[in-house]
Structure 1
Amino acid sequence: MKDIFALLKQGSMAALTAAIVNFVLACLKGLAFLFTANVAMFAEMMHSFGDAVNQLFVFTGSSLSKKAPTKRFPFGFGRLVNLVCLFAIIIVAILSYETVREGIHHIIEPLPVQTDTTMLLINIGVLLIAVVLEGIVLFKAGKELLQQAEQPYDGIKPLTLSYKYMNRAKPATKLVFLEDTVATAGALLAIIGILIGRFAGIEQSEGIVSVIIGLMMFYIVYKVFMENAAGVLGESDPQMEQRISQIVFRNDDIKDIQKLIVMKEGDDLHVEVVAEIAPELTVEYTNKLRDDIEALIMKQSHIADVNLEFEVDDGRRSWPETQGQLDNKSGKK
């Protein structure tokens, strides 16, 4: 039992926080829907339930993926988070379908516009609470995302700069950030749809909003499925490969790189490098050179292990040096 709790502590806190918040919001929206029969509120309820289930799975998967390798699974459980996300996204896809279907039904056969002021205030009040809580979770996820991407996260940057560096975050954090972006936008859309229906008399407005929210959920399904399917198969990280090549070329004794692969394994990155060196270097010096370069690589974010091998320079260029790498060699900043 202690081992399980130790693993859970290593899970994505952003995912756990988002799961709890979305479950509470789903219950509030469900109660509001029972009182008002508002289809936009139904869409928001389905969205929150879907997010809560998905993020709970993500938290569990991100925790279990930290389990140490065993004799049966010597490469560890890093890709478990990808498998769990793929399973969870099936639930979200079903809820997305139901949301779109319900929205289309109310576009074809719209209900009379609700004129009761009390019901209007209930819907708007619940949705405003959702905007505030989802916005807080979105901010937390954005801050965590920027920390993982090694970017500044002061001020409102978690809500602005995070989108630029989304691909450099852990899978669980990225998923929570995407889902809460859609959740916050969906709650605002639901408010707009209700207000248009009430004051403009457009009966189909809530059904249209429901369809839009469902389609946004389908976008999350597509995004999460594609990224986690790639993670299960084994995906390289081009940006980290570029950064590590600069670290390797920083040493004048490195003449070329024959091979450089950075493989994603859940939240971890595994690095394999084959570099070329001059033939006159001694074994003792070469071993020290390997230790120094591996130590620098291990300081990079999410690196789990490094395998660096040397070959004698063959005189042919295999890895093109960028201007940044040339500047590193010449000592420029």
Structure 2
Amino acid sequence: MKELFLLLKKGSKSALLASIVNAVISIIKGIAYVMTGNVAMFAETMHSLGDMANQFFVFIGSALSKKAPTKRFPNGFGRLVNLVLLGAVLVVGVMAYETIIEGYHHILHPVESKGFMINVIVLSIAVILEAFVLFKAMKETLHDVGIHAQGLEIITKSLANVNKAKPATKLVFLEDSVATGGGLLALIAVVISEFTLFHQAEGIASIIIGLLMFFVVGKIFLDNAAGVLGEADEIMQDKIGSLVLEDPDVKDIPEITVLKEGDEFHVEIKIEVDPKISLATADDIKDRLEEKIIKEKGVTDVIVEFDEDDNFSSWDNRKKSKDD
């Protein structure tokens, strides 16, 4: 039990915060839906419930993925967060389906909802809370990728780098982006329905919110399916390769693999060196490179192999192939 609590302390803080906030929001929205019967509010209630469950699973998965390797699982539990995320998106998928169906029924049989001010107040509070969580996810995204920003740069730089963030952070970022946008959309639909005869607006908003939820499901599913299989991280490969080539004793890099498992990177690299160097010198090079690479954020283990210099630059050729 003590080990479990220690692991939970290492879980994604943004996912835990988002789960708690969405739990509160879903209760408030649910009460408002029961009181008013507003279908856009129903969509938002389902959305918040799905996000709450999803983000709680993400928090648990990100924590358990930090568990140390065992004899049975010598490679560790890094991919566990990807597996949990694959299961979590199924919850959001079911919620999205129900949201779309309810919106479709409302379009066919529009009914004027009640409690205009209740809906406006609840949705406004929800949008503010979701925007707060989204802003926290933006800051954690920048922390994940090692970028410092202030003011409006937090928004622009986090949007540009969200794909480089940890899986848990990325999921919270995407879900709360959709949640904030969905809340604003529901608020607009409520206003349109109140001041015009176009009551179908709430049903249309419900369908759009459901489709946005499906977008998140698809995006997260594809990203984490790749993570479960073991995805090579080309950005980190280029970064580590350039770092290794700065060493004066390294002539070339014919092979490099940086495998991403959850939040962790496993590095295997083959370097070419002068064939005349001694075994002691080679050992010094290996220790030096391992120490340098392991300092990179997220890198947990490094394997360095040697080969003699063939006077052909495989690394430069690799870079040219990528540019072409």
Flag whether TM exceeds 0.5 (same fold).
yes
Q: How does 1:28-177 map to 2 (within 5 A)?
A: 28-112=28-112, 114=113, 119-177=115-173
Superposed CA deviations along residues 201-243 of structure 1, whole A, max 9, x for unmatched, are 2111000000000000000100111011001000010000010
**Separation in 2, partners of 1:73, 1:321:** 37
Superposed CA deviations along residues 250-308 of structure 1, whole A, max 9, x for unmatched, are 12321111110000111100000001011122222221122222222111111111111
Match for 1:196 among 192, 195, 216? 192
**Separation in 1, partners of 2:151, 2:318:** 34
Deviation, structure 1 residue 91? 1.0
**Separation in 2, partners of 1:37, 1:180:** 24
Using the aligned pairs only, state the percent identity.
Answer: 52
What does residue 216 of structure 2 align with? 220
**Separation in 2, partners of 1:234, 1:110:** 48
What does residue 331 of structure 1 align with? none
Greater mean deviation of Cα atoms: 286-295 or 52-61: 286-295
Q: How does 1:210-289 map to 2 (within 5 A)?
A: 210-289=206-285
Q: Which amino acid aligns with 1:215?
A: L
Judge conservation of contact 1:138–1:159 (CA < 8 Å) in 2: no
Q: Which amino acid aligns with 2:126?
A: A
Deviation, structure 1 residue 152? 1.3
Deviation, structure 1 residue 156? 3.1
Q: Tell me the secondary structure at the aligned position of residue 72 of structure 1.
A: coil
What does residue 205 of structure 2 align with? 209
Judge conservation of contact 1:147–1:153 (CA < 8 Å) in 2: no
Residue correspondences, number: 319
**Separation in 1, partners of 2:156, 2:131:** 13
Superposed CA deviations along residues 102-143 of structure 1, whole A, max 9, x for unmatched, are 11111111113x4x5xx1111010111111111111111110
What does residue 330 of structure 1 align with? none
Q: Tell me the secondary structure at the aligned position of residue 319 of structure 1.
A: helix
**Separation in 2, partners of 1:156, 1:137:** 16
Deviation, structure 1 residue 19? 0.4
Q: Which amino acid aligns with 1:273?
A: I
**Separation in 2, partners of 1:201, 1:305:** 63
Deviation, structure 1 residue 311? 0.7
Q: Which amino acid aligns with 1:129?
A: I
**Separation in 2, partners of 1:56, 1:296:** 35
| TM-score, scaled to structure 1 | 0.93
Gaps of 5+ in 1: 324-333
Deviation, structure 1 residue 321? 6.5
Deviation, structure 1 residue 160? 2.4
Judge conservation of contact 1:66–1:77 (CA < 8 Å) in 2: yes
Superposed CA deviations along residues 74-118 of structure 1, whole A, max 9, x for unmatched, are 111111111111111111101100001111111111113x4x5xx
What does residue 183 of structure 1 align with? 179
What does residue 10 of structure 1 align with? 10
Q: Which amino acid aligns with 2:92?
A: V
**Separation in 2, partners of 1:188, 1:30:** 17
Gaps of 5+ in 2: 320-324
Deviation, structure 1 residue 320? 1.6
Judge conservation of contact 1:106–1:207 (CA < 8 Å) in 2: yes
Q: Tell me the secondary structure at the aligned position of residue 164 of structure 1.
A: helix
What does residue 24 of structure 1 align with? 24
Greater mean deviation of Cα atoms: 25-34 or 304-313: 304-313
| TM-score, scaled to structure 2 | 0.96
Deviation, structure 1 residue 192? 0.6
Q: Tell me the secondary structure at the aligned position of residue 232 of structure 2.
A: coil
